[in-house]
Amino acid sequence: VVLMFGSWEGLGRAGVVDPFYFSMPSSIVARIWEWFTAGDIYTHLAITLAETILSFGIGTLLGISLGLWLGLSRLAAEVLDPFIKVFNAIPRILLAPIFVMWFGLGLTSKVALGATMVLFITFFNTYQGVREVNPVVLSNSRILGAKRSDLLRHVYFPAAASWILSSLRTSVGFAVVGAIIGEYLGASAGLGYLIARSEGNFDAVGVFAGIIILAVFVLIIDLILDIAEKRLIT
């Protein structure tokens, strides 16, 4: 890492690499310091974080609910299966302009895009987890007098829990992607907006600075999710 960034800095200062297009690590660090000392970056971070949390929460809730419903109802699964496959085949980025037209440039369009990206990941994992329930356990539970609500609470949901937890890390990443893409295509604030604004001004330093802040932002969220996952498992 030191060799890579040191070479980048040296080649930029020597003029071998044009700093206008590739910037330099020292300039990027200075820009990040400038953003944080000025204080404007905190508003952009808060907006992107809010969009990520809402996208993750809404998409996860809808995905789990839909996965449980279709996993328990074969008739509903057979009826809705072709519609789900068609909608899942559509690249989610193509929905971004539609959501902007429907909901405007505010928070709602970004949350809608992020939620659709999270929904299918959680849905397919929940659906598979419900379908993988041991039939012997189901039979024994019914013999012991378990009602449908008891089966859902004590059999189906615990069986699908490991599948759901495995999808959460990926879902968070897609929630961030949805928020950033939405901001990049049209917004007045957020990390995606910062990167798009820098790109529009041919400001390579701002683009790289925004990407690094975004990378650290995602790593912090991933760390929080890792701690939460360990607590839930134990």
Token pair for 203: 């400001």
- Tell me what pLDDT residue 62 has: 92
Residue 91 has pLDDT above 70, yes or no: yes
- Tell me what pLDDT residue 67 has: 85
Residue 232 has pLDDT above 70, yes or no: no
- Tell me what pLDDT residue 150 has: 67
Residue 166 has pLDDT above 90, yes or no: no
Q: What is the pLDDT of residues 113-126, one digit of tens each?
A: 889 989 888 888 88
Q: For the residues 162-182, what does the mean pLDDT come to?
A: 82
Residue 230 has pLDDT above 70, yes or no: yes
- 16-53 burial code (b ≥16 CB/10 A, e <16): ebebeeebbeebbeebbeebeeeeebeebbebbbebbb
CA–CA separation, 159 vs 13, rounded Å? 58
The structure's pTM equals: 0.81
Token pair for 98: 């539609």
Q: For the chain, how far is it from start to end, CA to CA, in angstroms? A: 36
- Tell me what pLDDT residue 69 has: 86
What is the band of 234 on the pLDDT scale with cuts at 50, 70, 90? low
CA–CA separation, 85 vs 141, rounded Å? 33
- Tell me what pLDDT residue 12 has: 85
Q: What is the pLDDT of residues 46-74, one digit of tens each?
A: 999 999 999 999 999 999 888 888 877 88
- Whole-number mean pLDDT of the chain? 83
What is the band of 3 on the pLDDT scale with cuts at 50, 70, 90? very high
Q: For the residues 185-211, what does the mean pLDDT come to?
A: 86
210: CB partners within 8 A, 6+ apart: 191, 194, 195, 198
- Tell me what pLDDT residue 233 has: 63
Could you give the percent of the chain with pLDDT greater than 70? 93
Which region holds residue 104: left if phi is over 0, alpha if psi is between -120 and 50, else beta? left
Q: For the residues 12-26, what does the mean pLDDT come to?
A: 85
